[in-house]
Structures are given as C-alpha cells and as structure tokens.
Amino acid sequence: MVEVLEGLHSIDLSEKGDHSLESWVLNCPEGVVIIDTGMNPSALDKIYSELKSIGKDWSDVKLILITHKHRDHIANLAKLKELTDAPVKSHRLEAPLIEKATDVKVEGLEDGTLLGFCGGIRVVHVPGHSEGNSCYYLSRLKAMIAGDTVFSDDEGNLIPPPEKYCLDVKMAMEEIKRLLDYDFKFLLYTHGKDVMEGAREKVKELVEKTRLR
Ligand SMILES: [Zn+2]
C-alpha cells in the first residue's frame, strides 16, 4: 500500500524497462475515486490490490477521472468501467476524444468544476499537452494531481512535457502557470517522482525558467 497522503494512494504502474507510470486512488467518505487507468492489464491488478489493502472492492469505486486522452492514461478504461460501473469524467474538450478511443461514455467537466469527493476535487484545465488536459486539485490535502502537465528530467527536476508528446508544446509550457492559482504543497504527476515538499515553489521556478527562454 502506498498511501502518500491521507486517503490518497499513488499506484506505481511501471514495469521493468518502462518509463515510470502512475495512477491514483482516492479513498473518500463519498466513495473511491480512481484517477487514470494505466496502460497494461497488470495495471488493473495493481489498482485492485491497492483497493483490497484498504478494504475496498471494485463496487466501492464511485467515480473515474481521466486527466487526458493519451493511451497510457485510458487504455484500461473500458475494462475498468465494466468492473466498477462508475461514471467517467474528464474535461469537456477531452470527453468526446476519450469516448471515441474507448467506446465508454464520458461526462465533460468545465475548468473550475468542484466534484464532491474528499472535501472537493477541483478541475484545473491546462491545455497544450492535449486539448482538455486537466489537473485535479485536492484542497483539503493541498495536493495537485497533475497527470502529464509536467514531466521530470533524469535528475528529477520538473520540466514541461516533451514536444513529441504535445498537441501544442508552446501552449503546454505557457499554461503551466495556471497551477499557481492554487495553494498546494504536494505535486503528483504521471511520469516522475511525486514532489512531496515545496511543490508550488518548484512549479513557480519552472514557470519562471520557461518564461526566460
Ligand atoms: Zn500524455
């Protein structure tokens, strides 16, 4: 079990030789929320053993949130929907694209929407990596779940998402500043080590560095 903050579990879905890959499980009083699905079938086993470790089952999952449409975030969505029958939500610009890729119904969210789990999950739209790429902000935990909005270099420093993975890399770099509208201490993102100290400060440095280019 990897409970990084109270009720928030980071699931390491990487396999030998893979880049690191994360999904998240939120154990809320209102039900369990899963954020992103991973890519390989083994990801579902890992998510399931995390659920079991907190005494939960697939039927306790009440919401599936997707950060964006890329395959390593949605490939298991159809299977996960079948196992949980939970509603699936993403930003409204991303929802039709995910529906098309997975054949699963996805409800569209607006920037700023507050979802009633764990004291409120705020949708933070950060376009550029993809159209509707979104982060999910947990105000009670002061945690930002950032998906692919940031990456890390080999030394573990935060960097913008690499151009080859972006719809519009300039926009992706420019819009990282949207995270600074929120007060967070912890930053959890898909491809790299979670930042568990001074996260907002580190994002601010990244925004300033990117601006100087
Ligand atoms: Zn991506």
Distance (angstroms) between ligand 1 centre and the Cα of 65 equals 15
Distance (angstroms) between ligand 1 centre and the Cα of 161 equals 8
Q: Count CB atoms within 10 A of the CB of residue 136.
A: 25
What angle, 0 to 180 degrees and rounded to 10, lies between the N-to-C axes of helices 77-84 and 41-53? 40
CATH code of residue 73: 3.60.15.10
Distance (angstroms) between ligand 1 centre and the Cα of 120 equals 24
Total tally of structural domains belonging to the chain: 1
Q: How confident is the model at residue 17, as a pLDDT?
A: 59
pLDDT tens for each residue of 113-162: 999 999 999 999 999 999 999 999 999 999 999 999 999 988 889 999 99
Residue ranges making up the domain that contains 198: 3-212
pLDDT tens for each residue of 46-101: 999 999 999 999 999 999 999 999 999 999 999 999 999 999 999 999 999 999 99
Distance (angstroms) between ligand 1 centre and the Cα of 55 equals 31
Is 18 a residue whose pLDDT tops 70? no
Distance (angstroms) between ligand 1 centre and the Cα of 22 equals 12
Distance (angstroms) between ligand 1 centre and the Cα of 18 equals 15
Both tokens assigned to 62: 């009440």
